Amino acid sequence: MKSSLIILSGGLGRRVNFQFKPFLKVCGKPLIKLVLERLFSEELFEEVIVVVKNDKQKAMLEEALRHFKVRIVEDEKRFEDGPLVAIYTGAKHARMEYVFIVAVDYPLMTADVAKKMLLKLKECDAVIPEWPNGFIEPLVSAYRREKLVKASYKALLLGMRKARAPLEFLERPCLVSVFSLSKNPEIVFTNVNTLEDLLKAEKLCSILSDRVLNIIP
């Protein structure tokens, strides 16, 4: 099943002293390169789309990713900033029937998780990971592309901005346990939102070797 990989990379980084998140380093590599290396698989993805906020960010990533086969696109300007407009933009530019969406600040996400989520799309319009306490991970998601474009557009027209908004307009959204996707979700779903999170991710790298990180299911 060939799909599109969409990496959301345009956040302002307010909680990391306004640093451009794709360039923050974890495991000795910029987040954007780490996410690409850990997630991209020719078996899964026909194309990679990186979504940014503006032309300055686009120029920075074009230089940094010149050796990677990616398309870098800017947020649609007609809607207010937020994760939803980035999701809509990526889905609109994608060419494949299914899309896997991940924010650039999930550096330890794996292709195995992506594959499991994409396979669930045979019976769902969207697949969203869920923790036992009910917390969901809408910035790690799989969708039927056309359904996502329509649902996210409806949500944007209503002034909605959150990443979970499209779920309200889908007939068959599926929440799946993080433990059905990975034996180690507390590692795989590590999210770098703050400087403290960055230190936590770095600590994981220092404890776990590259070899172990690469085989974590």
CATH code (residue 187): 3.90.550.10
Number of separate domains in the chain: 1
pLDDT band at 203 (very low <50, low <70, confident <90, very high): confident
Summary mean pLDDT of the chain: 91
With 80 as the cut, is the pLDDT of residue 16 above it?
A: no
Q: Which of 143, 107, 146, 115 shows the shortest CA–CA distance to 128?
A: 143
d(CA 96, CA 116): 17
Q: What is the pLDDT of residue 214?
A: 54
Q: What percent of the chain has pLDDT over 70?
A: 91
Residue 67, classed as helix, strand or coil, is coil
With 70 as the cut, is the pLDDT of residue 13 above it?
A: no
pLDDT band at 27 (very low <50, low <70, confident <90, very high): confident
d(CA 217, CA 52): 29
**Quick one: DSSP state of residue 169?**
G
Q: Which of 114, 133, 139 shows the shortest CA–CA distance to 217?
A: 114
Domain that holds residue 62: 3-215
b/e for 35-67, b at 16 or more Cβ within 10 A?
bbebbbeeebbebbbbbbbeeebbebbeebbee
pLDDT band at 141 (very low <50, low <70, confident <90, very high): very high
pLDDT band at 212 (very low <50, low <70, confident <90, very high): very low
Tell me the mean pLDDT in the region 56-82.
92
The beta strands (E) that lie in 149-216 are given as 173-177
The pLDDT tens digits for 157-194 are 999 999 999 999 999 999 999 999 999 999 999 999 88
